[in-house]
Structure 1
Amino acid sequence: MDSWRNKMTKPALVVIVGPTAVGKTKTSIEVAKAFHGEVINSDSMQIYQRMDIGTAKVKPEEMEGVPHHLLDICSPEEDYSVADYQKDAQQVIDDLHNRNKLPVMVGGTGLYVRSVTHNYNFNDAISDPSYRQELEEFVNNYGVDALHSRLQEIDPERARQIHPNNVRRVFRALEVFRATGSTVSDRYAEESPYNLAVIGLTMDRERLYERINLRVEMMVQEGLFDEVKKLYESNVRDTQSIQAIGYKEIYRYFDGEYSSETAIEQLKRNSRRYAKRQLTWFKHQMDVEWFDMTNGKLDEKIPSILRFVAGKLDLKSN
């Protein structure tokens, strides 16, 4: 595939999206193997070290020799923004193109994906010191939760990404809206800098929810409570990482608010709700070629997915 990049006016990028537990990881590896590619994580919680089971992070033995990027790049105590991800992902994509490797981005965090595919400019909103002072006074009078509620009303997707205690990032998101009239979630370029092949995996909701429930039970068997306990005992609190589904519920167990059974049920419920939000977001925000994974095994769907990628990007598979 040495000449694939020369066939296009823009560099190629494969993107695989969809809800949790639908089969994105395996699909990304098969696509990468077929087209001399490497995988780039775009799940906002898989960037964190020591958070493997609860984020369903790909295991080394599951990678089948395919290099993976942007996994385990931050400690759980660190904040990591969409702008950080965009910069890091673009660097990886450029490196892969320079090595004649096809980048295959996979994950379920919509803002991470679109920050790259549509090259959002994070530096074009002018700061407003007087408005910042107004927001600071609001926090002093009404608290961080009330401030976060203001962001929730304007930009629910962005609010979901930012913990209420991360006041600086809430301030910034509100400033962007004040200065530009549009939300951070909406401020993307219309045209992508890449020649995109965007694959979406979907599934009958009842079947997907069964898979999610089963995945949670498997996580518990694999030691999820022990993984979370180590973070809890390390005093990792009020951070972006611990807001992840699978961690915040079990933290409440260790805080004595939930029984283990309640924590597991809440984890299943929150995972199902998140999957629903993921599907809704990608169906409205991305130009996606959808593949229904409800009937048949994933292996039976791979040939049609590979044909789509080959046709879209004018590639030949191995």
Structure 2
Amino acid sequence: MHLPVQSGNNTVLKKMNRHYTAAQYKKLVKKIKAAFKKYRSGDLPLALTTDIIVGFSGETEKQFADSARLMKEVAFDMAYLSCYYPRPGTAAARLADNVSYKRKRVRENALNEVLKKTALKNNKYYLQKTVDVLVAGIKNGYAFGHTKTQKNVKAKINGPVAAGDIIKVRIDQVLSWHLAGRQVKPKLIVIVGPNSAGKTSLSIGLAKKFDGEVISADSRQVYQRLDIGSGKVTKKEMGNIPHYLLDVCHPKEVYTVAHFKEDADVALKQIYAKNKIPLLVGGTGFFIDAVVQNLEIPPVKPDKKLRQALERKTASQLFAQLKKLDSQRAQNIDPQNRRRLIRSIEIAKALGSVPPTKAASPFDVLYLGVWREKDELKKRIHVRLLQRINEGMIEEVKNLRKLGLSWRRLDDLGLEYRYISYYLTRKIDYAEMLGGLERAIWRFAKRQWTWFKRNRQIHWIKKTGEAEKLVKRFLSSKKLN
């Protein structure tokens, strides 16, 4: 807050045509500090700055001393000091400029020494704290900018940064006029696990406890009206926790990993801007890797000739071809989804394999994996499937047909939508639908396990308490074992 005082002496203030006294100014400052302490949000302190003129017409040493005293009492973070100069054409020009320039500079330097002490004392609050810094410029590996409290900051950067970016900086040194430190990666909590493991409930519980917001990383929950079949979290289950990347597009559209990364990057910026902790939650491993590892997803144009050739192959033949081209990508794809298999083969032929990552992840990541024993997970899949059938999952597929989705598109959406579409077209009966779908979900869960087990950074947890301890230590920057 910038609150100009101009002088700490009442006689000088009156001569300046200021309609307040030094006592009134100090009383106002006291009220502001009390109100800020009571109503502030976040951890940042109030930074108070001012303007002071030294050597105003007729200012005596005693009157100047009042200004110095006020500066000490208020303890400003910064003050813009200037020597009195009667500009031509102003009311001040009619006043006598009877304090020598040399004397003005002596007084200015004296106030500057007072300011050095109060500014340094206030700046010590920031030592060993992490703050947001708006970058104004880059030079020789350092970013220069300022905090929300207008503290100047010089920070050693560890990656691509541009003017206008907001970066996290750990303050290692405090001086009177600026803070110095190093860029730190923003924290990101990733929760993974197979279908029906309990990722949703864990993420909401952690978000409530640690002031977080959730980004869904599910390749089907991005679609509108794919609610019950995709296991999408309900408004009631959210419990006022903001969720991102749900219901992003129409189910007739094709939503790729490139779309997801672009949208997730935007969501992360929004969450960090609110000083919240993002939780990236889901079972689509490739979506998660694209964000966390900062994958470059080069655009690959459709190859009509290749697609025509691939269309003649069965799903199993397509899956076998993809495994030869890109075994890593094949681990996390529905082997019956011809559309996704064809597109993955198209990309693999163009790029060779999963797109390469950049030099390093832009995040400080905590991976949490929800662990379930084999028999327990099978039981949860069974119970959840019956529950969703009772909630109207078959009716949901009928409504998607009314919306104009083709049977082919429902097949492409996989699992629940595929098997229910088979049932509705009388390719299989009700019992075959239930049994086949349950087995398909289990096979998909095993593929998810395979994808996630390659990541040795994942902390596999069985109880919520374990996750809470890990998150608490992670957010306090303590080293994880």
- The TM-score normalised by the length of structure 1 is 0.84
Shift of 1:235: 3.8
Alpha-carbon offset, residue 149 of structure 1: 4.6
Contact 2:410 2:417 in 1 (8 A): no
Give the structure 2 partner of residue 258 of structure 1.
428
Contact 2:191 2:369 in 1 (8 A): yes
Paired residue total: 297
- Measured at CA, do residues 32 and 153 of structure 1 come closer, stay the same or move farther in structure 2, by a change above 3 Å? same
Report the CA distance between 1:107 and its aligned residue. 0.4
Change (3 A) 1:35 1:221: same
Match of 1:164 in 2: 338
**Corresponding letter in the other structure for 1:10:** K
Larger radius of gyration: 2
* Structure-2 separation of matches of 1:9 and 1:261: 55
Tell me the equivalent position of 1:221: 390
Identify which of 155, 158, 182 aligns with 2:326: 155
Distance 1:170-1:105 versus aligned 2 partners, 3 A rule: same
Asked whether 1:107 is paired with 2:282, we answer: yes
Cα deviations by residue, 1:252-284 (Å, 9 ceiling, x for unpaired):
011110111111111111111111111121011
How much does 1:169 deviate? Answer: 5.5
- Is 2:257–2:290's contact at 8 Å kept on the other side of the alignment? yes
Distance change in 2, residues 1:246/1:314 (3 Å): same
Which of 466, 478, 481 does residue 304 from structure 1 map onto? Answer: 466
Shift of 1:164: 2.6
| Cα RMSD (Å) | 2.8
Instruction: Give 1:234's aligned residue.
Output: 403
Percent identical residues? 33
Q: Which secondary structure does the structure 1 equivalent of 2:361 belong to?
A: coil
Aligned to 2:379: 210
In 2, distance between residues paired with 1:26 and 1:136? Answer: 41
Q: 1:135 to 1:13 in 2, by over 3 A?
A: same
Q: Give the one of 269, 280, 285 matched to 2:439.
A: 269
SS in 1 for 2:213: strand
Is 1:51 the equivalent of 2:222?
A: no
The whole-number CA distance in structure 1 between the counterparts of 2:401 and 2:246 is: 21
Higher strand content, 1 or 2: 2
User: Residue 247 of structure 1: SS of its match in structure 2?
Assistant: helix
Given that 1:79 and 1:239 are in contact with CA atoms closer than 8 Å, whether structure 2 keeps it comes out as: no
Equivalent in the alignment of 2:414 = 244
Seen in structure 2, the aligned counterparts of structure 1 residues 136 and 210 have a Cα distance that, compared at 3 Å, is: closer
Query: In 2, Cα distance between the equivalents of 1:111 and 1:26?
Result: 22
Instruction: Confirm or deny that 1:33 pairs with 2:208.
Output: yes
Query: Judging changes above 3 Å, is the alpha-carbon distance between structure 1 residues 220 and 9 closer, same or farther for their aligned structure 2 residues?
Result: same
Quick one: which of 246, 250, 257 aligns to 1:71? 246
Q: Show the counterpart of 1:297.
A: none
Does the CA-based 8 Å contact 1:245-1:267 persist in structure 2?
yes
Q: Measure how far apart 1:74 and its partner are.
A: 1.1
Say whether the 8 Å CA contact 1:195–1:313 is kept in structure 2: no
Q: Distance in 2 between matches of 1:234 and 1:197?
A: 40
Match of 2:476 in 1: 314
Query: Contact between 2:410 and 2:421, CA under 8 Å: does it hold in 1?
Result: no
Alignment of 1:278-297 (within 5 A): 278-285=448-455, 287-292=457-462
More helix by share: 1
Greater relative contact order, per chain length (Cα 8 Å cut-off, separation 6+):
1
Report the Cα offset of residue 137 of structure 1.
Answer: 7.0
